[in-house]
Copies of this chain bind each other. A is one copy, B any other.
Amino acid sequence: MGFGQRLIAAVRRVGNPVLVGIDPRVENLPEGLAANFSEDLAGLAESYVAFGKGVVDVVSGLVPAVKFQAAFYEALGPSGLLALSESLAYARSKGLIVILDGKRNDIGSTAEAYAQAYLGEVAIGDRLEAPWTVDALTINAYLGSDGVRPFVDAAAPRSKGLFVLVRTSNPSARELQDLIVDGRPLYHHMADLVATWGSGSRDESGYSLLGAVVGATYPEQLVELREVLPCVIFLVPGYGAQGGTAKDVAAAFDSEGLGAIVNSSRGVSFAFQRKDLKAIYGRDWQRAIEHAAREMIADLAAHTPAGRLTSQAGNPA
């Protein structure tokens, strides 16, 4: 079973394409959570584990996948990486598809080292150890094929996936990604490369293991890219906090409501900071997160082809 099939099976099982982002920041942790641990990097890291597990406990069974942002864990030094490792393993143990948002990139044997680290195993004497446990990794392909092939080679035999930055959701994405090459923006050329790199790994789902990151903040670009990348799963950031609406992301899906997962990080996992949800749930931050996740599921079901999934799976909202 390829990564395409695995992800789509997970989406069908819960009946929605919601990807919950877990981006812990000390200033945004639920009241009391950071206070329960010692005030140093290791203590903060423990509170990140507690937060991540708390989010996972709420969303497992409700959404198909979670995405951990490496930067916030790296910001706590080695203790943070230990916390990331524990959090990733916990999320996988709960049956979620686990994506690490690390945007890694390098060439040759260095790219191989990243690929083995995050998607494969490291040989130690006669044994193999898996240092991290993720299902998919985000990568940056500015270095071309040399920087992508090692990741594809590691992912393919393990039914794992990759998401390549194609058109990102930030305002300055245009500075490079929209430059015109042969009459078409650069990100179209990146899209062509993604299609080529992924062509060998298309599975029965019709999708390859190589997905594309395409921001929700530029809906017309989602339309174009869905056309030129029919076999590529989209990871769509920018919904919610960054301004993208359900209507904006509708074009990311195929006619069956598949082929895309839509990310919300702050909008779901920091939902306990919303005044309206505080009024309902008080200090029960997990109920607030659940509320926001169900809201997002319903919003996507109402305004995108993903609504077709909800009726099949039995509406979880």
Could you list which residues of chain A lie within 8 angstroms of chain B, going by C-beta atoms? 23, 25-26, 39-41, 44, 69, 71-72, 74-78, 80-82, 84-85, 101, 103-111, 113-114, 116-118, 122-125, 127, 129, 131-132, 140-147, 165, 168-177, 179-182, 186, 189-190, 193
Contact = CB atoms under 8 A, between A and B. Distances in A.
B175 A74 contact: no
Contacts of A180: 181-182
A71 B142 contact: no
Contacts of A84: 78
Contacts of A125: 39
Nearest to A130: B77
A22 to B, nearest CB: 12
A154 to B, nearest CB: 11
Contact of A105 (B25, B103, B116, B169): B103
Contacts of A140: 103, 105, 140, 142
12 contacts: A26-B122, A40-B124, A71-B111, A74-B113, A77-B85, A105-B105, A108-B170, A142-B142, A142-B168, A143-B168, A146-B171, A181-B181
B77 A132 contact: yes
